[in-house]
Amino acid sequence: MFMKVRKPVVSGTFYAGTPGELRGQIEWCYKHELGPGVVPQVNNEGLREIVALVVPHAGYIYSGPVAAHAYKELADDGVVDTAVVLGPNHSGYGAPVSLWLGGAWETPLGKVRINEELAHSLLGGVIEADERAHIYEHSIEVQLPWLQYLYGELQLVPIAMLAQDIETAREVGKAISRCGDNIIVIASSDFTHYEPHSVATEKDKSVIEAITNLDEEELYKRRELLNCTMCGCGPVGAKG
């Protein structure tokens, strides 16, 4: 039976291009002084209390140790069946909100199958079936090796957001909230780009405060007021 497979587009650039090197790079991120300091083991008895993560999507050498904190918490939390990964659409191709419906995505660590039943259940409203948005996009792809390293086999529902206004984010969030048990929602976003560290830190702290307060209106207000170049406001606002 033929299965459509999306090939990786940033393997060897954003992250290492061979299985051994990639596993080593992920472990380096975990052990890094800016990372959690330890390579996690999945807690098979975990209660699965984490609903969503916000994780960066730059090259692993830049943002990997930060991403490692999120994935360590997820490993400690238990076993995940399906990841719904929301990423910004940097390329401009495709529908305003684009869902890849079937087949699998490939990385050097193997293939991640699409949860086709769940993906089809999300179609409707602003969410359209459209692969064009995903072909050259990195923001979702870079999350997959982290998940594969922890869980081996799991399923994926990838959603790329070109439209990131608050109304669209809320509609996507409502759809995701009906997904059922044992999924993890991953909002892929970098924060302030190309500013001095002190400036970026102040801007990002303010925006992160709104996120941790689960206040999407305040998130959007602060992002605009501070001119924060956070690229995934829509995915973060839509995290369910």
| 15 DSSP β-pair partners | 11
Phi, psi angle pair for 214, to nearest 5°: 55, 40
- Structural domain range at position 187: 77-237
In a domain, 26, yes or no: no
Task: Decide: 26 and 144 in contact? Cβ < 8 Å.
Answer: no
Sign of CA dihedral 154, 54, 71, 196: positive
Query: Running DSSP on this structure, what letter comes out for residue 215?
Result: -
Condensed to tens digits (0 to 9), the pLDDT of residues 113-154 reads: 999 999 999 999 999 999 999 999 999 999 999 999 999 989
Count of positions (residues) in the chain: 240
**What pLDDT, on a 0 to 100 scale, did the predictor assign at position 2?**
62
* Amino acid identity for residue 209 in this structure: E
Backbone angles phi, psi at 185, to 5 degrees: -95, 125
pLDDT in tens, 199-236: 999 999 999 999 999 999 999 999 999 999 999 999 99
Residue 154 falls within a domain, yes or no?
Answer: yes
Q: Would you say residue 122 lies in a domain?
A: yes
Decide: 86 and 72 in contact? Cβ < 8 Å. no
Phi-psi region of 21 (alpha: psi -120 to 50; beta: other; left: phi over 0): alpha
Q: CA-to-CA distance for 78 and 50, rounded, in angstroms?
A: 9
Q: Is residue 211 part of a domain?
A: yes
Residue 135: give its domain's CATH number: 3.40.830.10
What average pLDDT does the segment 97-111 reach?
98
Residue 199 within a domain: yes
| Residue 159 falls inside a structural domain | yes
Residue 24: inside a domain: no
Question: Where do we find the tokens 């890849």?
Answer: 100
Longest dimension (CA), the chain: 54
Number of domains within the chain: 1
pTM for the model stands at: 0.95
**Cα–Cα dist 117/84, whole Å:** 13
